[in-house]
Amino acid sequence: MKTRPAAAADAAAIARIYNEGIADRVATFETEPRSPSTSSAGSRPDLPLVVAEDDGQVVAWAIAHPYSPRAAYAGVGDFSIYVARARRGKGLGRSTVKALVDECERRGYRKLVSRIFPENEASLALCRSLGFREVGVYRRHGKLHGEWRDCVIVELLLGDAAR
């Protein structure tokens, strides 16, 4: 298994893996499937986007979007990680998020944040293992299929902010 920056050719795999996350209802508020043309692969070089591949096949990906357009939040990335359903629980998430952290530090980011459904124990454990701090819980942060969902807020300081 190796990690690398995503390329345009990865768009179909990224969309497929994301759509599995939508179907599983444990990782995103998104409900509309993505197509290769609506994934960020190759079309947004300004965004840190990494993939993990095994035997030449993309099996996981992670991305950091700007947290806010406000200047005060420059260097804060809102990150997501998705692992192919058949490959979960094998350490791919950890390697992929670690590669994203390294890429974000290389680009001068100072913090990564995310929101995770409380029942998504695998993602919470992953973040804890990489040193993310659980900041709190957004109660009733959004509705998914008509039901209110809470989100655990996590953060990881990077670079100079971490020292």
Domain ranges of the chain: 2-162
pLDDT tens-digit series, residues 62-79: 999 999 999 999 999 999
As its CATH architecture, domain 2-162 has 3-Layer(aba) Sandwich (3.40)
DSSP code, position 33:
P
Instruction: Identify whether the C-beta of residue 68 lies closer than 8 Å to the C-beta of residue 101.
Output: no
CA dist 94 and 56 (Å) reads: 19
Band (35; pLDDT cuts 50, 70, 90) = confident
pTM of the model: 0.94
Distance, in Å, from the CA atom of 75 to the CA atom of 138, rounded to the nearest integer, reads 22
